[in-house]
Amino acid sequence: MNKPSGRKINIGICGLGTVGGGTLALLNENEAEITQRVGASLCVSHIASRSLNQDEVIGIPQSGKDPFAVVNDPNVEILIETMGGYEPAFDVIKNALLNGKHVVTANKALIAERGNELFEIAESEGAVLAFESSVAGGIPIIKALREGLAANKINWLAGIINGTGNFIMTEMASKQCRFEEVLNQAQALGYAEADPTFDIEGIDAAHKLTILSSIAFGIPLRFDGTYTEGISTITPEDIRYSDELGYCIKHLGIARRSKKGIEMRVHPTLIPRSRLLANVDGVGNAVLVHGNSVGATLYSGPGAGAEATASAVVADLIDLARHSIAGADKPVYPPLGYKQMLDDIEIVDIEDIEAEYYLRIPAMDRVGVMANISSILQSYGISIEAVIQKEAISKIVPIIILTHRAEERKLNLAIKAIESLDDVAEKINRIRVEPFDETEL
C-alpha cells in the first residue's frame, strides 16, 4: 500500500460558526480517510473568528479574531471562508486570491452578486475559488453541472433549493395550516431565522439559481436578472384546490433556455404530483437537470446544516490540495464551466415568459360571472384547461381556473381586466404551473 508522502498543507479557516465549525469537526473526524485520499496531511494551522472559543481551537497553532492575519500569512496555502455576508468576506477572499492562495467559500450571496469580479482576480493570479458548498449543501450539484454533464447542452433545470421554504410548503400541505403558523413553527425548530426574509421571499434561492444558471448556460452571473417571488401569499385553500387538480405547490428555482434567451425565476409553482420533485419534502433539497443527451437527472439530499455543508467544503478542499500537490500552475477547469462565456445572451423578463397558470378568483355568487371571466381570457388569447367552481363562502364563490400555455404579459392584462369586474370581490391569486413533460422525465 502506498503511504502518504509526508507533505503537509496548511489550511486557514475564517469564520467558525455553523459551517466553519462543522468543517473543522469533519476534518478532525475523517483525518485518516482524507489523508489517504489526498496523499498529504491537511492541517488547520490558522483560525479567525469574531467570537473565538478557545476550547474549539485547542491544538491549532494560530488563532485570533483578525481574518486578514490569516489571509496575509505566507504559511497558509488554502483559505476557507465561512464568515458569510458581504463584508469583510469579499475583501478576505479578494486579498487571499491576490496573495496566490486557493480559496473555498460557502458564501452563495457573495458568489451570486460579486462572483464575476472574484473569478477574474482568481484567473489573473492562477488561483482557484471553489464554491460547491454555496448551493444545495451536501448535494454535489455544481460538480455535476460543470463536469459530469459537460458533454450536454442544458435545456432547463428546476430545483427545490431552500430548505426553509420547502419545510413550510410541506407542513402547510400535510397539516392544512396557514403560512404564518408554519413559519412560527419553522423558527421554533431552528429551520428559519428570526428575520426569515431571505428564505420566504426567495432571495436565498435566487442567489443559488443565479449560480446554477451561469454554470448550466455559460452566462456571467446575473443576479439582477433573476425574478424572485416568495411564498407568503400561498393559502391552505390553494394547496387543497391544487391537490384536487392533481398538483402540489413547491417553491422552485427554474432556469430555462428558450428562443427568447435565458429564463431565471424563483416562485411558487404547481407541479404534477407524479413528478420526482413533488416528492421532496421537509428541509430536503433537489435539483432536476435536463440535458439534450442524457435527458433528466435528479440530484437530491440535505441542502443545509453543519455536516452536509461541511461535506461540500471539505470536498472542495481535497480538490485544491490535489491541485497543489500536482504543482498545476493554473486551474484545470473554468470555475463556471465555460472558458468562453456568453456575454450577449438575453435574460428574459418575467412578463415575456410563457407558462400555464393557476388562478383563484374570488367572485360574487351571481349568474354570468364565469361567462364574463371566460370572455376576458379569450380576448387575450388565453384558453382554459380546467375549472373548479366551489360552493359559495358567504356571498363569494372561489373559481379555480387552470389555463393552457400563455404569455405572462397577456395574462397580467387579463387579470387586471377580470379584477375590474364588479362581480370579482378581491385580488386574484395567480401561481405558475410547470408540468415538466413526461418525455423529459
Residues known to be catalytic: 208
The secondary structure of residue 352, as a DSSP letter, is G
By CB atoms closer than 10 A (0-12, 13-18, 19+), residue 384 is middle
Beta bridge partners of 431: 358
Whether 436 and 361 have beta carbons less than 8 Å apart is answered as no
Category of 137 on φ-ψ map: left (φ > 0), alpha (ψ -120 to 50) or beta: left
Question: Cα dist. 427→1, 189, 375, 420 in Å?
Answer: 70, 33, 19, 10
Give the three-class secondary structure for 362: strand
H-run or E-run covering 384: strand 384-389
Q: Which of 62, 69, 75, 73 is nearest to 88 (CA)?
A: 69
**Residue 255 — φ and ψ, nearest 5°?**
-130, 135
Whole-angstrom Cα distance, residue 141 to residue 160? 12
